[in-house]
Structure 1
Amino acid sequence: MAASNVTETLRRQARQRPDREALVDGDTRWTYAELDADVDRHAAALRDAGITADDLVGVLGRNSGTYVVELLALSRIGAVSVPLNWRLHPNEQTYVFDQAGITGLLYDDDFADDAARLTAATGVRTVVANGERVVDGAGRLTDLLDGQPPGVRVADAEKGPGDVHRLLYTSGTTARPKGVVHTYGNLTANHLAQVLELELTPADRILVSAPLFHVSGLEAPGLATFVAGATMVLTPTFKPADIARIAAGERITGMVLAAQILFGLLDLAEPPDLSTLRYLLFAGVAPAVRREVKRRLPHVRLVDTFGMTELCNGVCYMDAAHEESKLGALGAPFPGVHIRIVDETFQPVPPGVEGEIVVRGEKVSPGYWNDDEANRRTRRDGWFLTGDVGRIDADGYLWFVDRRTDLIKSGGENVASAEVERVVAQHPDVAEVAVIGVPDPRWDEVPKAFVVLRPGATTTGEDIRDHCRAELARYKVPKYVQIVASLPRNDSGKVLKKSLREAAAVTG
């Protein structure tokens, strides 16, 4: 697929719909003409600060209009952006800087202390302060912008499909974070697929609440919003109350929510006005919860998905025509994407048979940055090995079964933790659940469930086990159920089962 610099989209939108609203950050709003001009100013300012097309530039800040403009400005220059997870420990940030070879840093006031440590500890040579807290050797963005002549223009750097656009570092649930490469070709393929699959038009107003250091914030649909000529609306946090307020006030038509945020919205004392909402994109939500969401929001298309950073977001979305008849499935593959289920010898399996999910296509990352061993482990014959277990039905729809590492070996039988979680989640008093395997002297491993109850519920662990006995084979029923206040999660909202296993090893 032919690819170009993503910022060329802004030039086109500024010509065709200059007065349409492009970006909203609180009280600050940009039309497409204003956004394109602001990207030019920032590109010129960053260029004057010393950033070139040869630089890898870390961006350290919370979601804001400035953050979006800077990402676009870096693309216009041709530099490689590295959105940074601000929740990481400074030592982890230092590892990312050194592993990536980051040479530039843009940071917000909230992270000035981190910027100072990173500047002292790494080889970064160009640092720009977005706010007022200027560390040694940094330039101030406002001063750089003030130095630009009126109407300054910066030509879009010419880019091909194989050129690197950005690096996104994965959460690192089992090891050090890995830098996933996203090329301009990956973005072009994803943006066209997002517009097609979500049926985006200039009338859409898309809420971005996921952090912009995460693929969900950037690409679901994220920057594809501008390809459609629609409006991107940012939230300052991903708290349910903030999302509800902004979604209602800005007349949002589409958004992506992590499961725990969705639960929070449903549990608000005053339900938000979501009358304009057209679609809701999520993953990892039990069928019972989907039914409840549909009951409360019957006009909204509920879109489940299978995706990951390595796939430049999702590779399939559930279509509106099958969201009821295929409840629990994740959709059919995007155009330009092939999904296959293979056995342990890498041979394709028949429809309905479980195996590892492997993916190839124009959206798939070419690999991990400076990590040949991880690339060898996860690539084979042009396919990306996801490590996930699933099946594809006779109609071509993908069904997720489990993470391969989450399969529980009990008495010679494989128990999919996701299956047990699905049943536990159907209990009316259960808000969240995670299931792991714990050692057992007789059965090798047995399931253990960590359960978060809904407010006011008094259900016991034995009640949960009784509920499971009515739905599952005996060997799949959790031998242990632990009621907890919350589940440990990484910055992407995924449950940290490694932490649960470590806790279980200590407490038994």
Structure 2
Amino acid sequence: MAGSNVTETLRRQALRRADSEALVDGDARWTYAELDADVDRHAAALRDAGLGDGDLVGVLGRNTATYVIELLALSRLGAISVPLNWRLHVDEQAYVITQAGITGLLYDDDFADDVARLATATGLRTLVANGDRVVAGARRLADLRDRQPSGVRVADAEKGPADIHRLLYTSGTTARPKGVIHTCGNLTANHFAQILELELTSADRILVSAPLFHVSGLEAPGLATFVAGATMVLTPTFTPADIARIAAGERVTGMVLAAQILFGLLDLDEPPDLSSLRYLLFAGVAPGVRREVKRRLPHVRLVDTFGMTELCNGVCYLDAAHEESKLGALGAPFPGVHIRIVDEHFRPVGPDVEGEIIVRGEKVSPGYWKDDEANRRTRRDGWFLTGDIGRIDADGYLWFVDRRADLIKSGGENIAGAEIERVLAQHPDVAEVAVIGVPDPRWDEVPKAFVILTEGAVTTADELREHCRASLARYKVPKYVQIVASLPRNDSGKVLKKGLREAEAARG
């Protein structure tokens, strides 16, 4: 399947569906013709700011129309967008900017103070303020946009399937975020799969509540909404009350929700009118919760999925025909995607035999940005090694068994235990530390740190958590810190996190 610049499709939709609603952000609305014209104005403005084909440009902002239009404008110019996770600590953002080689940054007012620090720390060349808080060296987007002549047009940069569209940074299982490359071909394959598997049409109204720095916000179905000629509806926050209000008011037909948001929707005093909802996409929801959602929303297709940033979102969705008979399964592979289960010797196993899930196909990222070691570790003979454990039944449906041992998935975010360990190890009173994920009713998992103190140290668990807050995003700070005298080890002295997990499970 070929890949091209996604904004070429937007241009065609502006001709075919000029007056159809494309984008909704609160009271502001854009038809396809208006959205395409606004993308042109933004692209011309960013070009005047010095950004162009091949530049790596960070975007730091919340879910707004400006954010979406900027991503599309960067694509039209041929620049490589790097959506930045605003939940990260500023030091973590500085690492991403430096590791990626970002030279330009577009930012919202909310993050102006952090951007001032980032500019000093990283030497960013081009800063563009989306609002009114202009830090030193920045230019206002509104000023640049207002200078553009009426009806300005910017040609779409010519791109092929192997050309890089963006980088998305994910914590993965290491102590530092890794930049996942998404090519134009990856996006084309994903958009085709989303339209086919979710049966998207121009009548759909898709709510995007997941942050747009996340692959689930961008690609589930995300930008595929425009490829289908449908309507994207934004919500600036992802609180259950806001999602319920907007979904009901805008007659939303589809959305993706993290598990904790789904819980929140169920707990609202006044259930929203979701009679227009056609599908609900999620992952990591217990069967009991799923049954309760189905009881309350019997008309809605509940779509389980398996996906990763490295796979440009999901690679299988559970189809409506098997929603009950395959309850707990994650679905069958998308067209153009191959999923295999292998043993520890990389040999394929038979039906219902557990092993590592490996994937190849047009949706799979070609690799991590400037990280040869990680690429060697996760790729073999054209396959991407997920590290997750699963099985495939006789009908070809994937079932998830267990996750990568050291990756903590909390509230839809990946947290590397090694990153927390690195921060805690910097405390002078910490002799050794191990971090695992423990179950949490709201966030699915939260980090727990087991710490051995240096001899004679009297540092408390609360003091160690405070130490983490100085360097880590809030959601990465361990919810629990336990001071211990020893850690379980194997014969070579390596800490056995499996032993910690088993001990936690035994505690209940």
**When the two structures are superposed, what TM-score results if normalisation uses the length of structure 2?**
0.82
Following the alignment from structure 2 to structure 1, what is the Cα–Cα distance between the partners of residues 336 and 163? 19
After TM superposition, give the deviation of residue 90 of structure 1 in Å.
1.1
Q: Which residue is equivalent to 2:154?
A: 154
Following the alignment from structure 1 to structure 2, what is the Cα–Cα distance between the partners of residues 62 and 297? 29
Following the alignment from structure 2 to structure 1, what is the Cα–Cα distance between the partners of residues 171 and 255? 22
Following the alignment from structure 1 to structure 2, what is the Cα–Cα distance between the partners of residues 70 and 279? 28
1:185-216 deviations in Å (ceiling 9; x for gaps): 00000000000000000000000000000000
After TM superposition, give the deviation of residue 452 of structure 1 in Å.
3.6
Following the alignment from structure 1 to structure 2, what is the Cα–Cα distance between the partners of residues 6 and 401? 36
Following the alignment from structure 1 to structure 2, what is the Cα–Cα distance between the partners of residues 339 and 506? 43
After TM superposition, give the deviation of residue 115 of structure 1 in Å.
1.1
Secondary structure of the 1:390 match is: strand
CA contact (8 A) 1:5 1:76 kept: yes
After TM superposition, give the deviation of residue 362 of structure 1 in Å.
0.2
CA contact (8 A) 2:44 2:154 kept: yes
Secondary structure of the 1:315 match is: strand
Secondary structure of the 1:293 match is: helix
Following the alignment from structure 2 to structure 1, what is the Cα–Cα distance between the partners of residues 11 and 53? 20
Q: Which residue is equivalent to 1:282?
A: 282
With over 3 angstroms needed to count, the CA separation of the structure-2 counterparts of 1:244 and 1:173, relative to structure 1, is farther
Following the alignment from structure 1 to structure 2, what is the Cα–Cα distance between the partners of residues 99 and 307? 25
CA contact (8 A) 2:173 2:406 kept: no
After TM superposition, give the deviation of residue 506 of structure 1 in Å.
8.6
Verify: 1:303 aligned to 2:303, yes or no: yes
With over 3 angstroms needed to count, the CA separation of the structure-2 counterparts of 1:376 and 1:499, relative to structure 1, is farther
After TM superposition, give the deviation of residue 451 of structure 1 in Å.
4.9
1:107-137 deviations in Å (ceiling 9; x for gaps): 0000001111111111311110000000111
Unpaired runs of 5+ residues, structure 2, are: 410-416, 418-435, 444-467, 487-503
Q: Which residue is equivalent to 1:128?
A: 128
1:384-463 residue pairs with structure 2 within 5 A? 384-405=384-405, 450-452=439-441
Q: Which residue is equivalent to 2:355?
A: 355
Verify: 1:332 aligned to 2:332, yes or no: yes
Verify: 1:14 aligned to 2:14, yes or no: yes
Secondary structure of the 1:299 match is: coil
Q: Which residue is equivalent to 1:37?
A: 37
Structure 1 residue identity aligned to 2:144: L
1:178-193 residue pairs with structure 2 within 5 A? 178-193=178-193
1:132-147 residue pairs with structure 2 within 5 A? 132-147=132-147
After TM superposition, give the deviation of residue 2 of structure 1 in Å.
1.2
Following the alignment from structure 2 to structure 1, what is the Cα–Cα distance between the partners of residues 440 and 230? 40
Q: Which residue is equivalent to 1:200?
A: 200
Q: Which residue is equivalent to 1:466?
A: none
Q: Which residue is equivalent to 1:212?
A: 212
Structure 1 residue identity aligned to 2:227: V
Unpaired runs of 5+ residues, structure 1, are: 408-416, 419-435, 437-446, 455-487
Structure 1 residues 117-126 or 249-258, which shifts more?
117-126
CA contact (8 A) 1:62 1:211 kept: yes
Secondary structure of the 1:7 match is: helix
Runs of 4+ in 1 over 6 A off after TM superposition: none
Q: Which residue is equivalent to 2:105?
A: 105
Verify: 1:250 aligned to 2:259, yes or no: no
Structure 2 residue identity aligned to 1:325: S
Structure 1 residues 252-261 or 288-297, which shifts more?
288-297
Secondary structure of the 2:6 match is: coil
Following the alignment from structure 2 to structure 1, what is the Cα–Cα distance between the partners of residues 370 and 253? 40
Q: Which residue is equivalent to 1:272?
A: 272
Residue-pair matches, total: 435
1:253-298 deviations in Å (ceiling 9; x for gaps): 0000000000000000000100000000000001111111111000
Following the alignment from structure 2 to structure 1, what is the Cα–Cα distance between the partners of residues 4 and 438? 48
Structure 1 residue identity aligned to 2:28: T
Q: Which residue is equivalent to 1:92?
A: 92
Following the alignment from structure 1 to structure 2, what is the Cα–Cα distance between the partners of residues 449 and 58? 33
CA contact (8 A) 2:260 2:442 kept: no
Which structure has more relative contact order (CA 8 Å, sep 6+)? It is 2
Secondary structure of the 1:112 match is: helix
Following the alignment from structure 1 to structure 2, what is the Cα–Cα distance between the partners of residues 43 and 314? 30
Following the alignment from structure 2 to structure 1, what is the Cα–Cα distance between the partners of residues 119 and 142? 20
With over 3 angstroms needed to count, the CA separation of the structure-2 counterparts of 1:119 and 1:113, relative to structure 1, is same
With over 3 angstroms needed to count, the CA separation of the structure-2 counterparts of 1:79 and 1:451, relative to structure 1, is closer
After TM superposition, give the deviation of residue 503 of structure 1 in Å.
4.3
Following the alignment from structure 1 to structure 2, what is the Cα–Cα distance between the partners of residues 143 and 18? 27
Q: Which residue is equivalent to 1:236?
A: 236
Secondary structure of the 2:106 match is: strand
With over 3 angstroms needed to count, the CA separation of the structure-2 counterparts of 1:503 and 1:242, relative to structure 1, is farther
CA contact (8 A) 1:102 1:123 kept: no
Following the alignment from structure 2 to structure 1, what is the Cα–Cα distance between the partners of residues 406 and 302? 26
Structure 1 residues 103-112 or 172-181, which shifts more?
172-181
Secondary structure of the 2:155 match is: coil
Structure 2 residue identity aligned to 1:126: T
Following the alignment from structure 1 to structure 2, what is the Cα–Cα distance between the partners of residues 299 and 203? 17
1:198-252 deviations in Å (ceiling 9; x for gaps): 0000000000000000000000000000000000000010000000000000000
After TM superposition, give the deviation of residue 145 of structure 1 in Å.
0.6
Following the alignment from structure 1 to structure 2, what is the Cα–Cα distance between the partners of residues 128 and 501? 40
Following the alignment from structure 1 to structure 2, what is the Cα–Cα distance between the partners of residues 453 and 44? 44
1:325-363 deviations in Å (ceiling 9; x for gaps): 000000000000000000000000000000000000000
Secondary structure of the 2:340 match is: strand
1:35-58 deviations in Å (ceiling 9; x for gaps): 000000000000001001131000
After TM superposition, give the deviation of residue 453 of structure 1 in Å.
8.6
With over 3 angstroms needed to count, the CA separation of the structure-2 counterparts of 1:406 and 1:324, relative to structure 1, is farther
Structure 1 residue identity aligned to 2:66: T
1:351-403 deviations in Å (ceiling 9; x for gaps): 00000000000000000000000000000000000010000000000000001
1:167-196 deviations in Å (ceiling 9; x for gaps): 000035641000000000000000000000
Following the alignment from structure 2 to structure 1, what is the Cα–Cα distance between the partners of residues 127 and 63? 19
After TM superposition, give the deviation of residue 89 of structure 1 in Å.
1.0
With over 3 angstroms needed to count, the CA separation of the structure-2 counterparts of 1:379 and 1:450, relative to structure 1, is closer
Q: Which residue is equivalent to 2:76?
A: 76
Q: Which residue is equivalent to 2:341?
A: 341
